[in-house]
Amino acid sequence: MSRSAHPAGPRHGDVLPDGHYSAPPADLNVLDEKVWARTVERDQEGQVRIGGVGVRALAEEFGTPAYFLDEADFRARCRAWREAFGSEADVFYAGKAFLSRAVVRWLTEEGLNLDVCSGGELSTALAGGMPAARIAFHGNNKSTTEIERAVEAGVGRIVVDSFEEIERVAAAARAAGVRQGVQIRVTVGVEAHTHEFIATAHEDQKFGLSLAGGTAAEAVRRTLGHDGLELLGLHSHIGSQIFDMSGFEVSARRVVGLLARIRDEHGVELPEIDLGGGLGIAYTSDDDPQGPAEIAKALREIVGRECEVAGLAVPRISVEPGRAIVGPTAFTLYEVGTVKPLPGLRTYVSVDGGMSDNIRTALYDAEYAVALASRASTAPPMLARVVGKHCESGDIVVRDAYLPADTGPGDLLAVPATGAYCRSMASNYNHTPRPPVVAVADGRARTIVRRETEEDLLRLDVG
């Protein structure tokens, strides 16, 4: 539910809900298709299903908490991005959103490329069978070992982020006797989050080489000076959970401006630009993200126009959606343990996971929806807060939610849109084993990342 819908006026802290919340939905049993994976539905018994399998059977077989991922939806989203961008552009899935070998196989089969930003992500990408040429390696402080491994593996692009790294990649390419493709990560002075973007103000960050400050142009000069480096293009990434194209418009204009200066100064037209990821998804019914077709059209128009103005051939465009592909495809299933009504305030519903499996609410004030999933209910709505089992009062999964007033211990709750940045950011806080990821398709469910066990955790503890 939207907290931006609050009427103006003083708020009495976070815990006094009266009059500050949008009305409950007319029917709590209805699942808004915007926020749920495509095959999710409520069956005639009232139980939520995904990929044709009911949550009660899933909880029985795989336990809770667990992430259930709709494989058909994941593949459909890959195809939609691929088709929207066509053969003159590339789609790189951002592996940090969620990566496993099964995911890498799906990406490979659906024709996507893959971004990694650590040795661990690179290992997973290669183990899953992604051809190295289709991998791009990111990060503002890649280790020398990571760079050497990436070069030896034949990674298609290393996105260099500092002067030191240009020398390190050049040295690794020399040692391996190869010419390494690189892009330069440029700070364009744009930061975009959700519905707002700020231009010119955001030079103050750790990523990239500054366009305005001239370090990007200097990085181009140094890179071109190394025979072992093949400068393929420029890269920018402006933020996350973005809903409109105006930030991309400014960043594309600035990146193309640098392409034109590079042509004027060095006589080369770089063949690629990467505009990054950050495309938003619907976490709640209030969010209205654009689809890949609209995004591709807008980006093509923006880049085409800017190149025409600059008298440049249109470079090959690439984008890097992470959240927009995997985010909507999964929900987290929890079991309710305790229910505490606080009269005049709200009801705290405690589940068997929390900030160890979804840190986004605590970290970013992220909003989520939630549904009673094991059954339908005709009870009236109650204002609830879904909280975890960790030793932290900020351990909140869903800050503001309406649940049926008869929600109680043993019920299963599903929190949608947890495919991105939940399992990948999960922790072992309170020595909690991390939940499994289960892929569901065509009436079959299979574990793709197994649940950790206490033995796994104890094995790390060598006394």
Residues making contact with ligand PLP (CB under 6 A)? 94, 96-97, 115, 138, 237, 240, 276-279, 320-324, 420
| Catalytic pick among 78, 117, 391, 422 | 391
Integer Cα distance of 212 and 197 in angstroms: 18
**Cα distances (angstroms) measured from residue 279 to each of 91, 115, 193:** 13, 15, 10
Integer Cα distance of 256 and 270 in angstroms: 10
**Cα distances (angstroms) measured from residue 80 to each of 65, 196, 236, 241, 347:** 30, 26, 23, 19, 41
Question: And the tokens for 447?
Answer: 């574990």
Contact in structure between 284 and 368 (CB atoms under 8 Å)? yes
Q: Which is nearer to ligand PLP, 128 or 321 (CB)?
A: 321
Contact in structure between 363 and 406 (CB atoms under 8 Å)? no
Handedness of CA 171, 146, 202, 98 (dihedral sign): positive
User: What is the bridge-based pairing of β-strands 41-42 and 48-50?
Assistant: antiparallel
Is residue 391 part of the annotated active site? The answer reads yes
**Within a 13 Å sphere around the CA of 54, how many CA atoms are in the beta-carbon half?**
12
Strand partners, 197: 192
Nearest to 150 by CA among 129, 176, 128: 176
Q: What number of other Cβ atoms are within 10 A of residue 365's Cβ?
A: 10
**Cα distances (angstroms) measured from residue 47 to each of 30, 57, 59, 327:** 11, 10, 12, 22
Handedness of CA 212, 214, 219, 221 (dihedral sign): positive
Question: And the tokens for 43?
Answer: 């069956």
Q: Which residue has the tokens 């260099």?
A: 160
With residues binned 3-state (H G I as helix, E B as strand, rest as coil), the percentages for the chain, rounded to 5, are 30, 25, 45
Q: Which is nearer to ligand PLP, 138 or 375 (CB)?
A: 138
Q: Which residues are catalytic?
A: 391
